[in-house]
Structures are given as structure tokens and as C-alpha cells.
Structure 1
Amino acid sequence: MSSNTAPTTTAPRPANTERRIAYATTLAPITAGILAPLLNHDTAIALDLAYLPAAAFTTASAMDWIPHTTYQQLPAGDILHRHRFPAFLSTLATGVALGMGTFTGSQGADALLAGILDPLTTKGIVSLGWWATVALVPTKLRRILTSRKPRTARPTTTSAAIPAKPTTPPTPQTPEQQILHAWGQHISHPDTGSHRGQTLRLRTINAYRWQGTITAPIGTTVTVTKDAVSSVYRKPAEWIDIKTGAHAGEATITVNLQPPAELDTSTLAGAWRKWAARNGGVMAGTHLEEVQPDPNTGGEVARVIADDTLDALPTPNMRDLVGALRTNHLLLSYEPSTNPRTAVIRLMKENPLRAGTPFPGPKTLLPSEGGYFRIGRAVSGRPLRAQLLDPKLGARHLFVSGVTGSGKGGVLQLIALAAHLAGAVIIYADPKGSSNPAIEKMAAYTGLGEDGAMGALLLTEALVNHRINLTGQIKQKNFNPDVMPHVVFILDEASTLLGEKATHRKRATAAVGHIAKKGRSLGVSEVLANQLLQLAEIGGDSAIRDNIIGSGGVIMLRSDSSQRHLIDLPPGMQTINPADIPATWTGDDNGTLVYTDDIHIQDPESTFGLGYFMTTDGVCAMGRTYTLEDATEHIDENNVTEPFDWPDWDNRHNLVAALLAEDNEDLDSTTSTLFTGAEATPKKPASAKDKILNTLQDLADPLGIDTNYTHKDDIGRIAGVEGQTLANTLSQLVKTNEIHRGPDAGTYGLGPAPTTE
């Protein structure tokens, strides 16, 4: 739609000027076709050269490329503007006639003019097209050509007291005409406009808004303001948006006819702009893009984008963000992405997770090609996935936190069932004692109670040490499930062994850290669960945090204290606080202040299994685990996998007893030192020789019938002797016949070598 209004002229002009121009435009092609063959050579060349600028002008005029001010400087410019398309057609047909007449002579002119009589030939088709173009010109000008000659006004005897009625221009009828008329009268008018010559071209118009392009005269810039437009169209300035266009002389304008979404606080865009992104707001310097309805929640979802003034999005305090958007924690989801400048915000009408996520069956837990298995559903509808074994990187670790009743046991049951269905070895440690019987049925070894859990942990550590030796012997760099099965060690209530007041804290911390660091390439995954995700509760060891939480996955269910300040969470989880998850869905902050017996109180619905999930697929999202009360029906107790690569597995119970005894001896020694105080005489530290002999004595056959052989690495680990000291001491003891080498490389037995007799 054109923005240019007909230019006005001040000089008087005869009334029939426009009709004369219309006749000339119509007859020009025919006249050129008749006269062109009669022109001499020089005249024809001059006429062809004169035709070129005329053709260029009419073409530019038809394309609306000529500025408004140019028409004002031309004689009858308003007529030229109104007739620009018929003039273009006439010029085109005239050029064809001139070309045929001047270059091919009378024969070509006759073929063009009379070829229509033979329409089945090529010249007939050309002639037919030419005549159609010629005929279209008077069709476009028929209103001018058929109008009657203006009558001469007769003198009338009107009373001097009654003035003649002034003539007024016709009132615009369509919305487009009304918008352009108002713009031309009050903004772009060459005499009275507030921004003279700055024309408007409409691009779109509907019931909600109209948009267009403002063009300033050549050599000037667009200066139209929101206030000027607001005054003309009677819309608030906040509803109007003017942005710079392709160059300084152009701008785009949007005028909203209704309150725009970004100003309506009942919408996500409006609430974000007014409250969250305001100056000093929790997300100042940000804006939303791709705002759209969210069918899963009945609300809206959008991308949060950092403005050009920010290098990255700020890390919002979720409590502040929830307050800014006037909602609650269960109806707001904020998901940072790997791009620090973007995130996803979801403002819900209803949380789709409230209805629960029933367990769809064991097939869901089978790993994908990348080792991922589903454990629930995110608020967006996306599946929640976890990973215990990466085909390329080896074993992965997980940390699960949540208070009693939050669903932590249900998560562990799903993880264990996924490992069981995938054929992994499960070693389960439960310091509370038989709190999850289904996992016990899947486990190859279960340690219940504090000492039993410590035994399961030490057994897993011994398995890791065995695999270190085995992979060294077979030169295996990466985990190979064909050589050794995947092992999943699950430690529930980890603070019982790793907390500040735990009896076995030092030894348990060392074992957990050793498994976390070495387990990846050995196919040993570690799953720790605890009520709090606090560094002090997991041994205070940053290596555990880095290897399990930093490079593994985290599932944070409801907590009873603020945890995000207690430990360095992986990227993507800094914004969340599981303490903000309420225990039930039915909390109502606007409930009745004074209760009577007739007021019905709704029973609360638990948020069991609801939390924040950050696993190795890089997505942190609010979600809820599948509801699986008891996994027993999905367990095949006849196919519980055991570590076939470890010969000592058959002797695991004796090995655990020995490891616990060793740990208790260390505790007794520490306790003795603590209670004897400064008056106690310090014991002389045992030599490497004594430590090795004592270790072999503990591992020897109690009846003295058979000779038990132990690998030097196990001897060094148990005795606490390493490196060159271990090698030198073993060689010295062999020379003195206090020990002897076994039949297998690197093994040793107590006493002198047995004789052939």
C-alpha cells in the first residue's frame, strides 16, 4: 500500500488538463506506430534517445521509487503521480512502436499495427500483445476520459446572510485510508504537518495493531516521535514502537490498537517486562523472545535473552524471581542452557506433574545406545534421563539428595532396577538397615547397618583395586564389559559413614574418593544418597564433590534447609533451591484467617518424587520420578549378576570381615591415643617389615595346612607400604626366608618356600 498521498499544487490549472493528458497517454503508442516509419534517420535517433529518460522516469514512478518532493517540483506532478501506472504502460507500448518503426521501417510498423489480423502467426501474437497493452491504458483512465465537461456555474441570487457551503474532501472510508489520511493531514503535510514530508507506507493492519515504514525526504532523517503519533491516533505512547530502519532516512513503526502483551501483567511477557526485567529487578537487562502458549501447563513458555549490555544472564535467586512474577515455586520453572546468554522460563497455570507419573514398565529403564535410561518426566514433558555407563567414557556417578518422604528411596529403587535390567553388579550399602528390601533382592552383596554398610564400601574398594591390577596386566585402558561386568555401588544415608560425627569417616572418605576417582575406567559407578547435599556431609572431600557431583549427575528432591549455598553445584543448578519445594501441593497462602468447624480443609497431596534433575545430558529441569511402589515383580532373582572377573568374590564374606577388623584396629589405636592423652607413652611406629609380616600372618591359613599367596599390591595396600619401600622390603624378607615367592607372578606367601618333599 502506498504511503505517498497526491501532491498538492498552488498554481491554478485549467479543469480539462487532466483529460488532455489522459488522451495523450492513450494515443501516444498508436501515434508512434504510425509516424515512426516516416521519420528521417537523424530525427528517429534523436527521438529514440529522448525516449530513454522518459521510460526510466515512468518505470521508477510505477515502482513508487520517486520521492514525494520530486512530484511537487514538476508541472502537473499530482496528475503524473495519479496516472503513473497507465503512463508506464503507454511508455512501454510507445517504445515497442518506435523500435519497430525506426529499426524495421514501414514493414515492421505494419506488422505491429495490422498483425492482429493474422493471429496464428508470430507477428500476430506480438501484435495482439501490443494492442492488449494499448487497450489497457484507456481502461485505466476511463474515469477521466468519460467524465463530463465541467459546467459553468450560473449566478445565483443567494442571500448575503447565508454563506455558501464550503467544499470538503471526501471522508476516508477504509481503516487504511483513515490511517494514511490522518498521517498526511497532521504529520507529513508539507505546510502544516508536525514532521513535514515524512511519509508513511502501511505494511500490515489487523484488529490488534498496524505496522508501517516512515520515510523522510532525501538528505534528512526520521524525526517522528511516539508522542506525535500518540496525539494523532489517540493511543498511549507505550503502545507505540518506532525503530530505526535500513538507513537514517527510514524507520519502522508499530501502533498497537489494544494493550500489547508486554504491558499486560496477566501475561508472561508483561509480568517479565514490568517486574522481573525492570531497572533494579531480579533479571534487569534481559528480555523475552519466542513467547508462546505451553500446552503442557496451560501457561506460557519463552526464551530469556541477555540484552546487549550484558555478557551473560544473571543467576537469579528463585525466591526473588517467583515473587517478581507473582506466582509460587511449583508453577515456575527456570532452565539455564549451555549458552550463558539464554535460558527457558515457564510460567504455569497448572503443574502437570501434580497428577503423578505412573511407571510405564521395565522397558523404560533399558539403556539407550548412549547408556541413558528414563526415570521420570520433566515439567516440559521431556523425559528425565540418567546415565550410569557411557559406552565411550565408562562408568558415571550419581548423587541423590532429599529428606525423608521426598522420594529418595523411590529414586534409588528405579536406579537399581535399571542397573539390574542392564545386567550390572549391584553392591548395596544401607546404614539404616533394610530400608529398601527391593534393592536387596537385586544386589549381589548387601551391607545393612553401619558396620555392614562399611563392609560393602570396603568390598567395593577391594574390587576396584583388583581391577586396577587386572587392567594393568592385560593392558586395558578403557572399560570393556566383555572382560568385566559393570558394577553399581549404592550407598544410602551417606552421612552415616562420611558425616562429621561418623565413626568410620576417615576410612570411608578415602574409600569413596578412591572409587569415585578410579571407577570410571574400571566400570564401577558410585551412587550416593543423603538427606543433605552438603560438603561436610560427604566427608568434606572436594575430590568426592568433583568426581561425583561435578562430572556425574545430581538429583535434588525436597530438602528441609537451603542447600545451594552449602556446596558448589554444577553449572545449570546454581539457581535452584530444593528447600523451596513444599511438602504438599495444596498449600494456600490466601486461605481463611479464622477457622470454624464448618470450613472444609482439603487433605494435602504429597510432592513425593518432585525435584530438580541435572544429569549428564546437560539439562537441569524440574521433574518428578516415576511412581513405583515396589520393584519386586520386575526382578529376576535367578539372574543377579556377580563380578566374574574377581576370583576373591567367592570369599567375599571373609574378606569383608578381615577388612572390617583392620578398620576396627585403626579405630582402637586412635581411640587409645585420644584417651591416654599427653601422659601416654607414644608407641614406636611399626616398620615396613613388621607391617608386611603382620599382613601375611593375618591372611595365612589358620590351620597351617595350606599356603595362601597374596599379590604384592594387596600386601602393600593392606600393610600401608608403597613404592620402592615395598619392593625392597619384600626382597629382603625373601632373602631371609621369612617369606617366599608364590607360583604366580607378584605373589608372596608366609615363611620359607616349601620343599619338594
Structure 2
Amino acid sequence: MRRMPTRAKVEMAAYGASAAALAVVPSMEVLPAHAAAAAISGGSLWWLYRKAKTGDFARTIRSAQRLLGPVTGGVVYAAAAAAPGRPWWEIAVALGWGGVMAAWLPVTRSTWTPPAETGGPGYPPGFTGLVMRLWDDAEVAPGTWLEDIEQTVSPEHPDFTADVVALAGKPVPRLSDVDIAAAFGVPTACVTLADKPGHGPGRLRLTVAPTRRRGGGIEEVWAEVVARPGGAIPGSKIVHVKTFPAQGDLPARGMVLAEVEPGEVARINHEQLCSAFGVKAEELRLVAQSRGREALVTLYESAPLKGARRATRELLTLDAYGRYTIGTAHDGTDAKVHMQSAAGTFHGFLVGVTGSGKTVALALMCAAWALAGLANWVTSARPDAQMTAVGRHVDRQGAGAIFTWWMLKAAIALMDIRGRINGEVGHDFSGHSPYPGLVLVLDEFNSLVGDEALGDEIAQMTDVLAREGRKFGIGIVFAGQSLNLSKLGGEASLRDQVQGGIGVVLRIASASGGIAARQATGGLAGDVDIAEIPDRFNASMSLMDRMHGTVDDVPGETTQGVGHTVTGSEAVMMRTLYVHLPKDGSPDGLGEIFPEGGGINTLTEREIQELTELGLWHDWTMPPPSAGGDSGDAMPAFTGVEAGGGIGTLAPPPVAVKAKKATVKEQVLAVVDREMTAKEIRGLVDAAAGTVRNALSDLVTDGKLRQVDHGVYAPVHAPADV
């Protein structure tokens, strides 16, 4: 039985009231009533005319059904109003109109619907309820029902497993695959009903897999595609399968836990795994993690890392375990990293190509160190506007090989100073030390150690600090598009020092999965399997689309900040927190994450005083002292520490710093001593024509040259009529 819904009852009552009004009101000389009837009927006709002009035939028909009552009622009203007196047929026509309208409710307005309660079993919402209802409606095995229904592929696929359960003390009938397939509308080969391990005949395991080959369940498909020799996870077998519905911004997901045989280690080929599950690697919907002999595969309905969370001081403040949140993991949890490794070092590494979000990640790290009370020195190969903005919130920040040489030299001497302090307090660096922890960030490390004059010395001092800095509270964080540690002696020992600390791998140069990660991090990421991160979500077009000539020039969303946190042999896909860090010098959001009030952590007065006495506490921009040369003008090497008296006595570079070549702008300023054409200037300057032209434009903008006419330049103070 079906019952009339409330909406239909209301509509029928309206037809009854309108019929009564049509039988009486038209014969009355009531102008407002006539006007209202004309407005309703005329407005309905005008609306129907507008729908007809759109050319959408289906919508016009639906509108005509909806407006049938007001339009025909207007016709009846007009006929009754035009007839003199009150003839008998007016009442008959009005009542007949009401009966016809009530008997034929337009299907697009009010339809008969099933009752809310039918006396049958209530089903849960979604896919689970649908499967249970289909089983009951088909009456394949009366007296049985389904439990533990789980989708095995993804929420978008109808493949599922379920337990068929009989009444207590009764077995599940041996059912025909044909009957089961008919109940769910799938091919017979896609259905399997088998005994469930650990249970009797009263509970059997049903597998329905219409989208899988050969009708097998996920266990069979896993064995055929994933676990086979040369597969995505060779030798693995499924331990558990579980699905989760969407939660907030986190899309629905299915998870598969698998393991390999004891004595083996699970190895994951990410691209093969994506192929096995029918997804594109660049969608970033599939995440795989391995730990020992276990592997956890998570397949999301959509990419889970498209949104970035704004950074706050609370997230960057250390928790009770000495960790801070650097981003959001793919499963919606906080992606945390330790401030110190288990060995007590502040070492770490950060790798990412241009545009991957490396500078933002460095800013987050510096803020976390500042909130924890650590001092921070930052250097990079070249000046950078964003790092300069970070530099306003840290103790020391600069760029270039010279700045880096002085910074490392000061840190080496600081170890000697802190060694004496350690002797006074009776312990190495700890949270109770009278001096703060210090983290040195070496951005674009490859370029710094590749400097022709100072690179070898930078590498040597970095190696010393990485090995011996722990007991003096000094850490090294290597950063760059890739890391080449070949200049540092004993790489294996260095990896042991650095691996346990913070490790972040963002988008790296495209190569082949984990091999690229090992190469890009100079081995610091160990043998961890890291999936490649594309520059955009869904960045590529399928070959089928290309074959059909599909044109899609809408770029995907950027993956800036998407990468992995790496700790030991474990990697977690995540997206770093977001902080506004513009490239144009406009106001940034760094003040929201660094310590409130703008305070900057520095060395102690004693440390600064001793570094000053050693000649190491200045702006670090002057050329390093020469170890000895033919010129008596060379700056003498400092002698603040006795020869051989400590690690702070590391000799300065044995080669004199090469004379700096004049820049193009400096050459232009040197030759322009009168009004000169651009052609004359280009003939006297050792640079490409385009570079000279740009330099002239910049010098005019900076007010260092004056443009007399098009292509004619003169010194600023030269007379205008020269």
C-alpha cells in the first residue's frame, strides 16, 4: 500500500477550496476578486510563455503541468463572470473542475511516495543499507541476513564482501551463484560464497566483485596483480581490509593492511600499485606506507591533500614528546617531527625543487626553533627576498660563500667556548645548559660547497659540526633542491647523525620513485620508499583523452607544500602548514608564528664577547683572512686561540680570495662620463647587449644615470645641454 503524502493532501484541499470559490465568487460584483483571478491566471500564462521561449521542451512540459490548475481555473472564472445572473451550470462546471484537478495531480508537482514506515526491517543509510535491502527483497535464502558489509576497492566501486548469517542453530543454505548474482544484478562469475575461517556453517563469507577480473575478490586480485613476483608488493598477502566514510574535508577511503613472509621486508612500487587499483599516480589518491614486513595501502575517493592548513604558534610549539606540527598528514592527522633526534642532535634535512614550498617549510622550522628557545643562523647560496623576510625574526641570516664561511667558523669556535662552559657546569648540552641550542641552516648546500675558493673549507667545517655539534647544542640542517654529500668525509657516519632528526622531502626532480629520493637527499632518506609528487594534482591527460582529441587546458591545483616527513625508515605523505610569505616584499604572515612580541633568541653575552675577542662577531661580509701570501696588504689570520689549542683554531682557507669581477652596472657607471648612446656604451662594456640594456634601465630607475633622450644616457650631475 502507498499513502498520500502531505504535499498531495494540501494540493487537493486547495483544489476543493478553489472549486467552492468558483461556484460563488464570479457572479458577485467584487472587483478585487476579479482582479486577483485575472492576475493569477495571466501571471501563469506569462510564466509559461517565458519557459516556452527558452526552447527547452522538457522544462516547458513540466511547467505546463504545474500551471494547469491556475490556467484552467482562470478560464472557468472568466466564463462564469461573463454569463449574466447565476445559471445552474456555473456550479456544475466549478465542481467538475475541482474533481478533475484532484483526480489528476500533475506528476511533477505531487507524486505518490512509499510510506515512511512499512513494518519491514529498517536499513542503514548508504551502500550497506542498499546491499541489505537487495538481499532481503530477492529472498535468496529466507531466514538469513548480511553482516560486516565492506566495500573492497573504493566507495566508487560496487565490489564488497559480507557475512551471510543464519538463525542460531541453523546452517546457511548452500546457495546457487546464479541466485546470488541475480539478487545484486552482477555476472555469475563475480560471486563467491565460501566458508569463513574460524566459523561454522551458520556464517559464510560472500564476495561480490563485478569490477574485478575473473570474478575474484580483492584477495584473489591482490595475489594476481600486487603480490606476484615483480608486482607492486611482491610476496605480500592481505591481513585486513577496512573502509571509512568521508569525515569533514577528509574524503572517504578504503585501507588494506598486508604483510610479507617473516624474514622479508615489504617493498612497494608506487606506480605499479596505482596501476593495480586503476588510479593515476598524479591524482595523489593512493598512499602506501611500509614498515618492516607490513604495508598499509590507503585509497581515497579524491585527493586528500588539496587544502593547506594555516600555521599557528600553537601548532609549532613543542608537545610533551618534543615534537611540533609541520603539516597535515594525508589521513587528516597532524604531521609531527621531533625537535631533537633520539641521539640528541638538532640535525636534519629539507629537499625540494623550486616552487615546491621549501622556503615556507624552512620558515616553519625556524619559527618552531624560536618558540622552543633555540637561536638560529641561516645562510643560502644567493640572496632571496623570502629568506630575508625570515631573517628579520632570527639571530643571523645572510647569503653567499663568504657569509657561510664566517658563520661556520664562528660555530666551530663556539664549540670550543661551549666546551669550557660544559667543563664548568659538569655536563654536555641539555635543557639545563646555561646557553641556548643553536641550529645552522645551510640552504642550497650544493652551491655553497661547490664554491671555487671556499667550498672545500665550508664542507670541512660542516662535517666537523655535523659530527661533534651534538654535545655543544649545535645542529646542522641541510637544505636544497638536492644534496650532494660527497665532499663530507665518512658519509655513512654522517647519515647516522642526521637521519634520526627532522627530514622533509617535498617535490623533487622527476625520476623513478624511491631511487630519486635517495639520490636527491644524498642518502639521508635511507632506503625509505617515497612516492613522486607531481607539480599539480591531476596534471596529465589520459592517453584515451588524447586519442579522442579531448582538449582540457585547465591546469590542476598546485602541489606546493606536498611531500613526506621522513624519520628513519618511515615516510608519511603530508602537506606543510601555510604561512603567507610573498615574493614581492609585501607584508608577510611571519609575525603570526614567531614568538609574540618579536623577541629573537641569541647567544649569551659571554659567548658573544668571546667570539668578538676572536674577531668572529661582525657582519660576516668581509673576505676571510688569507693564510699567507706575497702581498703585505693581506689581512692577517686571526690568532684568538693558540695554535693546536682547540677545535676553534681550524686554519682559514690557504688560498687568497679571487678579485671580484665588476658587475655590469658597475662597468656601465665607470664608462658613462658624458652623454653617450647605448651603442657606444655596449661597445665599452663586457656583457651581452640585452644585459647592458637592462642595466641602463635599472640605473636610470635608481637615479644613478639620467636618460637625456631615447637611447642617450648621461651622468646624473652632467649639464643637461652637454
Match of 1:304 in 2: 257
Relative to 1, partners in 2 of residues 1:232 and 1:174: Cα closer, same or farther, differing over 3 Å? closer
1:405 to 355, 365, 376: 355
Match of 1:564 in 2: 517
Match of 1:629 in 2: 580
| 3-state SS of paired residue (1:453) | helix
Relative to 1, partners in 2 of residues 1:465 and 1:447: Cα closer, same or farther, differing over 3 Å? farther
Match of 1:334 in 2: 288
Q: Structure 1 CA distance, aligned partners of 2:468 and 2:561?
A: 31
Match of 2:660 in 1: none
Asked if the contact 1:245/1:252 (under 8 Å) is kept, the reply is no
Match of 2:407 in 1: 456
Relative to 1, partners in 2 of residues 1:174 and 1:357: Cα closer, same or farther, differing over 3 Å? closer
1:466 corresponds to which letter in structure 2? Answer: I
Match of 2:600 in 1: 640
Asked if the contact 2:340/2:346 (under 8 Å) is kept, the reply is yes
How far apart are residue 322 of structure 1 and its match? Answer: 2.0
Q: Structure 2 CA distance, aligned partners of 1:603 and 1:395?
A: 42
Match of 1:354 in 2: 306
1:530 corresponds to which letter in structure 2? Answer: G
Relative to 1, partners in 2 of residues 1:715 and 1:524: Cα closer, same or farther, differing over 3 Å? closer
1:605 is the counterpart of 2:557 = yes
Q: Structure 1 CA distance, aligned partners of 2:324 and 2:148?
A: 50
Q: Structure 2 CA distance, aligned partners of 1:306 and 1:261?
A: 25
Match of 2:501 in 1: 552
Match of 2:536 in 1: 584
Asked if the contact 1:244/1:252 (under 8 Å) is kept, the reply is no
Q: Structure 1 CA distance, aligned partners of 2:147 and 2:368?
A: 56
Q: Structure 2 CA distance, aligned partners of 1:572 and 1:299?
A: 32
Match of 2:195 in 1: 242
Relative to 1, partners in 2 of residues 1:716 and 1:428: Cα closer, same or farther, differing over 3 Å? closer
Asked if the contact 2:442/2:479 (under 8 Å) is kept, the reply is yes
Q: Structure 1 CA distance, aligned partners of 2:212 and 2:487?
A: 46
How far apart are residue 653 of structure 1 and its match? Answer: 9.1
2:400 corresponds to which letter in structure 1? Answer: G
Q: Deviations over 1:580-602 (max 9, x none)?
A: 21111241322753899x95621
Relative to 1, partners in 2 of residues 1:314 and 1:599: Cα closer, same or farther, differing over 3 Å? closer
Q: Structure 2 CA distance, aligned partners of 1:367 and 1:462?
A: 29
2:365 to 403, 415, 419: 415
Match of 2:334 in 1: 383
Asked if the contact 1:303/1:342 (under 8 Å) is kept, the reply is no
1:445 is the counterpart of 2:405 = no
1:492 is the counterpart of 2:440 = no
| 3-state SS of paired residue (2:273) | helix
How far apart are residue 310 of structure 1 and its match? Answer: 4.9
Q: Structure 2 CA distance, aligned partners of 1:233 and 1:488?
A: 65
| 3-state SS of paired residue (1:418) | helix
Structure 1 stretch 604-613 or stretch 409-418: which is displaced more? 604-613
Q: Structure 1 CA distance, aligned partners of 2:148 and 2:352?
A: 55
1:620 to 561, 564, 571: 571
Q: Structure 2 CA distance, aligned partners of 1:267 and 1:203?
A: 17
Q: Structure 2 CA distance, aligned partners of 1:607 and 1:625?
A: 10
Match of 2:480 in 1: 530
Q: Structure 2 CA distance, aligned partners of 1:408 and 1:652?
A: 37
Match of 1:429 in 2: 379
Q: Structure 2 CA distance, aligned partners of 1:462 and 1:370?
A: 32
Relative to 1, partners in 2 of residues 1:611 and 1:503: Cα closer, same or farther, differing over 3 Å? farther
Relative to 1, partners in 2 of residues 1:279 and 1:659: Cα closer, same or farther, differing over 3 Å? closer
Asked if the contact 1:336/1:572 (under 8 Å) is kept, the reply is no
Asked if the contact 1:353/1:623 (under 8 Å) is kept, the reply is yes
- More relative contact order, 1 or 2 (CA 8 Å, 6+ apart): 2
Q: Structure 1 CA distance, aligned partners of 2:258 and 2:139?
A: 39
Q: Deviations over 1:512-533 (max 9, x none)?
A: 2222222223222221101114
Match of 2:419 in 1: 468
Relative to 1, partners in 2 of residues 1:718 and 1:538: Cα closer, same or farther, differing over 3 Å? closer
Q: Structure 1 CA distance, aligned partners of 2:482 and 2:454?
A: 19
Q: How big is the alpha-carbon RMSD for the aligned residues of Structure 1 and Structure 2?
A: 4.6
Match of 1:49 in 2: none
How far apart are residue 564 of structure 1 and its match? Answer: 3.0
Structure 1 stretch 286-295 or stretch 202-211: which is displaced more? 202-211
Q: How many residues align?
A: 470
Match of 1:520 in 2: 470
Q: Structure 1 CA distance, aligned partners of 2:445 and 2:525?
A: 24
| 3-state SS of paired residue (1:655) | coil
Asked if the contact 2:190/2:210 (under 8 Å) is kept, the reply is no
| 3-state SS of paired residue (1:210) | strand
Larger Rg: 1
1:655 is the counterpart of 2:616 = yes
Q: Structure 1 CA distance, aligned partners of 2:401 and 2:617?
A: 13
2:456 to 474, 495, 506: 506
1:317 is the counterpart of 2:269 = yes
Q: Deviations over 1:284-333 (max 9, x none)?
A: 432331421253543433242225x4533431122222222221231111
Relative to 1, partners in 2 of residues 1:650 and 1:323: Cα closer, same or farther, differing over 3 Å? same
How far apart are residue 334 of structure 1 and its match? Answer: 1.0
2:600 corresponds to which letter in structure 1? Answer: V
| 3-state SS of paired residue (1:322) | helix
| 3-state SS of paired residue (1:433) | coil
Asked if the contact 2:628/2:636 (under 8 Å) is kept, the reply is no
1:613 corresponds to which letter in structure 2? Answer: T
Match of 1:344 in 2: 296
| 3-state SS of paired residue (2:408) | helix
How far apart are residue 474 of structure 1 and its match? Answer: 3.3
Relative to 1, partners in 2 of residues 1:267 and 1:240: Cα closer, same or farther, differing over 3 Å? closer
Q: Structure 2 CA distance, aligned partners of 1:621 and 1:433?
A: 32
Q: Structure 1 CA distance, aligned partners of 2:336 and 2:551?
A: 43
Asked if the contact 1:454/1:660 (under 8 Å) is kept, the reply is no
Relative to 1, partners in 2 of residues 1:376 and 1:264: Cα closer, same or farther, differing over 3 Å? farther
How far apart are residue 412 of structure 1 and its match? Answer: 0.4
Asked if the contact 1:242/1:252 (under 8 Å) is kept, the reply is no
Q: Deviations over 1:651-675 (max 9, x none)?
A: 1893268999996646989xx9xxx
Match of 1:593 in 2: 546
Structure 1 stretch 457-466 or stretch 403-412: which is displaced more? 457-466
Match of 2:492 in 1: 542
Relative to 1, partners in 2 of residues 1:626 and 1:565: Cα closer, same or farther, differing over 3 Å? closer
Matches within 5 A, 1:23-42: none
Q: Deviations over 1:189-225 (max 9, x none)?
A: xxxxxxxxxxxxx998999552579x9xxxxxxxxxx
| 3-state SS of paired residue (2:350) | strand
Q: Deviations over 1:526-565 (max 9, x none)?
A: 21101114444877833333211x2222100111143234
2:237 to 273, 287, 291: 287
Higher helix content, 1 or 2: 1
Asked if the contact 2:518/2:527 (under 8 Å) is kept, the reply is no
| 3-state SS of paired residue (2:476) | strand
Q: Structure 1 CA distance, aligned partners of 2:428 and 2:468?
A: 12
Q: Structure 1 CA distance, aligned partners of 2:476 and 2:506?
A: 19
Q: Structure 2 CA distance, aligned partners of 1:462 and 1:295?
A: 55
Q: Structure 1 CA distance, aligned partners of 2:527 and 2:215?
A: 28
How far apart are residue 261 of structure 1 and its match? Answer: 9.4
How far apart are residue 570 of structure 1 and its match? Answer: 6.5
Match of 2:430 in 1: 479
In the superposition, the TM-score normalised over structure 1's length comes to 0.53
5+ residue gaps, structure 1, are 1-172, 180-201, 216-225, 673-695, 701-707, 721-757
Q: Structure 1 CA distance, aligned partners of 2:477 and 2:258?
A: 36
